[in-house]
Structure 1
Amino acid sequence: MDIHILAPKAGEDYPTDWNEFLTWFASEEACLSYLERLRWPAGFVCPACSCIDQPYRSSRGRMVCRDCGHQCTVTAGTIFEKTRTPLRVWLAAAWYLTSQKQGVNALGLQRVLGLGSYQTAWAMLHRFRAAMVRPGRERLHGKVEVDETYLAISDRQNPVAAKGRKNNTAKTLIVIAVEMLEPKGFGRIRLQRIGDDSAASVLPFVEQAIEPGATVHTDGSAAYRTLRELGYLHQRTVLLGLDIAAHASMPGVHRVAALLKRWILGTHHGAVQPAHLDAYLDEFVFRFNRRSSSSRGMLFYRLLQQAVVTSPVTYGDVVKKTRARSKNSE
Structure 2
Amino acid sequence: MQHFLLSAAARTLSLKQVFRMSDAEAYETFCQLRWPETDGEAVCPRCGCAETYNITSRRRFKCVACHHQFSVTSGTIFASRKLTFVDLLAAIVIFVNGAKGVSALQVSRDLDVQYKTAFVLSHKLREAMALEQQNRRLDGVVEIDGAYFGGYVKPENEKADRKDRRLAMNRTGKRQCVVVMRERGGKSLSFVVRNEGDAVPMVRDHVGTLATIHADEGTGWDALHAGWNVHRVNHSVQFMDEGACTNQAESYFSRLRRMEIGTHHHIAGPYLYAYAQEASWREDNRRVSNGSQAMLVAESAMASPVSRKWAAYWQRKAG
TM-score bracket for the superposition, by shorter chain length = 0.7 to 0.9
Stretches of structure 1 that go unaligned for 5 or more consecutive residues are 1-13, 156-167, 182-186, 324-330
Structure 2 partner of 1:64: 62
SS of the counterpart of 1:60?
coil
Q: Is the 8 A contact 2:18 2:89 kept in 1?
A: no
Unmatched segments (≥5 aa) in structure 2: 1-10, 154-171
**Is residue 2:6 matched to residue 1:38?**
no
> Paired residue for 1:244, among 228, 238, 248?
238
Counterparts of 1:7-46 in structure 2 under 5 Å?
Answer: 16-23=13-20, 25-27=21-23, 29-43=24-38, 44-46=42-44
Higher helix share: 2
Q: Could you report, residue by residue, the CA deviation over 1:249-300 in whole angstroms, capped at 9, with x for unpaired residues?
A: 432333322332122111112x11111111111211111111111x211111
What is the deviation of 1:20?
Answer: 2.7
Shift of 1:229: 5.1
1:99 aligns to what?
97
Match of 2:254 among 252, 258, 275: 258
Specify whether residues 245 and 315 from structure 1 end up closer, same or farther in structure 2 by C-alpha distance, changes over 3 A only: closer
**1:216 to 2:221 alignment:** no
Q: What residue is the counterpart of 2:182 in the other structure?
A: 178
Of 309-318 and 208-217, deviating more is: 309-318
Give the structure 2 partner of residue 127 of structure 1. 124
SS at match of 1:227: helix
**Alpha-carbon spacing, 1:143–1:100, altered in 2? closer, same or farther (3 Å):** same
Residue aligning to 1:298: 292
Q: Distance in 2 between matches of 1:320 and 1:197?
A: 36
Distance 1:310 1:316 in 2: 13
Q: 1:150 to 1:277 in 2, by over 3 A?
A: same
Counterpart of 1:252, as a letter, is Q
CA RMSD of aligned residues (A): 3.0
Cα distance 1:321–1:275, how it changes in 2: closer, same or farther (>3 A)? farther
Task: Please name the residue that 1:118 is paired with.
Answer: 115
Alpha-carbon distance in structure 2 between the residues aligned to 1:21 and 1:153: 40
1:6 match: none
> CA deviation digits over 1:56-115, x for unaligned, max 9?
012412211122222211111111111222222111111111123222101111111111
Asked if structure 2 preserves the Cα contact closer than 8 Å seen for 1:99 and 1:297, the reply is no
Amino acid across the alignment from 2:141 = K
1-side partners of 2:178 and 2:128: how far apart?
21
The residue aligned with 1:85 is: 83
CA–CA distance in structure 2, aligned partners of residues 215 and 56 of structure 1: 54
Query: What residue is the counterpart of 1:277 in the other structure?
Result: 272
Instruction: Give the aligned partner of residue 235 of structure 1.
Output: 231
TM-score (norm 1): 0.75
Distance 1:274 1:288 in 2: 22
| Residue identity opposite 2:184 in structure 1 | M
Instruction: Decide whether the 8 Å contact of 1:35 with 1:74 is kept in 2.
Output: yes
> Equivalent of 1:312, from 285, 302, 306?
306
- Structure 1 stretches of 4+ with a deviation exceeding 6 A read 320-323
Range 310-319 or range 95-104, more displaced: 310-319
The residue that corresponds to 1:3 in the other structure is none
Partner of 1:163: none
State the secondary structure of the residue aligned to 2:213: strand
| Other structure's SS at 1:281 match | helix
Check 1:138–1:57 CA distance in 2 against 1; reply closer, same or farther (3 A cut). same
The count of residues paired between Structure 1 and Structure 2 equals 282
Q: Aligned AA for 1:298?
A: S
Cα deviation for residue 22 of structure 1 reads 2.7
Structure 1 CA distance for aligned equivalents of residues 225 and 315 of structure 2: 41
Q: Is the 8 A contact 1:154 1:272 kept in 2?
A: no
